[in-house]
Amino acid sequence: MKISLRSVVPTAAIPAAILLAAVALGVSSCAGKQDPFAYTGRTDVDTVTISAQAAGVLESLTVKEGDPLRKDEALGSIDTDRLQAQRQQQEAQIGELEAKRIAAEAQIQQADAQLALSRDTLAKTEKVLAEGGATRQRRDELATETQVGEKNLAALQANFKMLAAQEDEIRAGIRITDIAIRDARIVSPLDGVVLDKFHYQGELVAVGTPLLEVADLSELTVEIYVPLDRLGSIALGAKATVTVDGVKEAMAGTVSWISSEAEFTPKTILTEETRTTLVYGVKIRVLNPQGILKIGMPVDVRF
């Protein structure tokens, strides 16, 4: 009778062999997977408060919460009637000063010509004085006249400079008024979305009054807390995977900040294994071009 080699293998050895093969297969398949440990965090974004840069009544503020914004887009304006009237007054003052400067310039030219004549006459008189062609008294009169002319010319020139300085001052005031008129326009400082609206058309606002809160939601930040024993494997620029409940596709993130100081685990981030440990804050920057992530949304982060 022939005995088959297969028949002499112990039946108890078969499950063990299968188990070893399965373990080896499982180890090899898990070697390339990411760390299964997930950190829980919430999305956040840097907000910008648009405040009034001029005082007055809100003529318009048409945007609403949730409206998209473009950088430098006009969002509204503050009444500028007083500023416009002030600018007209300043322009009138400039016109008055220019007329005075023209008159002062004509007086300077006249005084300069008179002084030149006095100096010329004095020089001729001093020349003929030695020959007896003129008296010393006449020479002294001409010298006095020349001195008076010089002082008069200097006073006219000083007055001309004062008028020029006054005009420069008023023109500087006009520039300030123009800046105030420009600041009465409410414009968006970024591409983003209106998160909150604090005041409405017709309300009186002062300089610095918050009007809108806006943010760029194309990029959000997730802050997580990492225990010390896992912090060594995380570095600035490290890649992370961010997942959200209800969203099938995971999003890529990048570590943008790691705290330099440890702190106790926040109550909202407590887990059984990190309940009593010190942790380090880590921020992950996540691109959000499709607007899937919302502010305050809970997410899971894996490295």
- What's the number of domains the chain is made of? 3
| Same domain? 221 vs 72 | no
**pLDDT value at residue 246:** 86
Q: Report the pLDDT value the prediction gives residue 265, as an integer from 0 to 100.
A: 64
Return the bridge partners of 185, or none.
Answer: 77
Q: Tell me which of 266 and 12 has the higher pLDDT.
A: 266
Q: Concatenated DSSP letters for 50-115?
A: EE-SS-EEEEEE---TT-EE-TT-EEEEE--HHHHHHHHHHHHHHHHHHHHHHHHHHHHHHHHHHH
Indicate whether 31 belongs to any domain.
no
Q: Please check whether residues 118 and 151 belong to one and the same domain.
A: yes
Same domain assignment for residues 85 and 179: yes
Domain that holds residue 198: 48-78+185-215
Task: Let me know if residue 11 belongs to a domain.
Answer: no
Within a domain: 132: yes
Please say if the pLDDT value at position 25 is more than 60. no
Give 188-233 pLDDT, tens digit per residue. 999 999 999 999 999 999 999 999 999 999 999 999 998 888 888 8
CA dist., res. 31 & res. 83, Å (int): 71
- Asked whether residue 179 falls in the same domain as residue 257, the answer is no
pLDDT digits (tens, 9 = 90+) for 111-137: 999 999 988 988 888 888 777 777 888
Q: What is the pLDDT of residue 200?
A: 95
Interval 141-147 mean pLDDT: 90
pLDDT of residue 38: 87
DSSP state of 268: G
- Return d(Cα 43, Cα 62) in angstroms, integer: 29
**Angle at which helices 81-129 and 136-183 pack, to 10 degrees?**
160
**Do the Cβ atoms of 171 and 196 come closer than 8 Å?**
no
Do 208 and 225 lie in one domain? The reply is no
Cα–Cα distance measured from residue 135 to residue 130, given in angstroms and rounded to the nearest whole number = 9
CATH number, domain containing residue 241: 2.40.30.170
Q: Are residues 174 and 191 in the same domain?
A: no
Domain identity same for 143 and 285: no
Looking at the structure, do residues 142 and 165 belong to the same domain, yes or no? yes
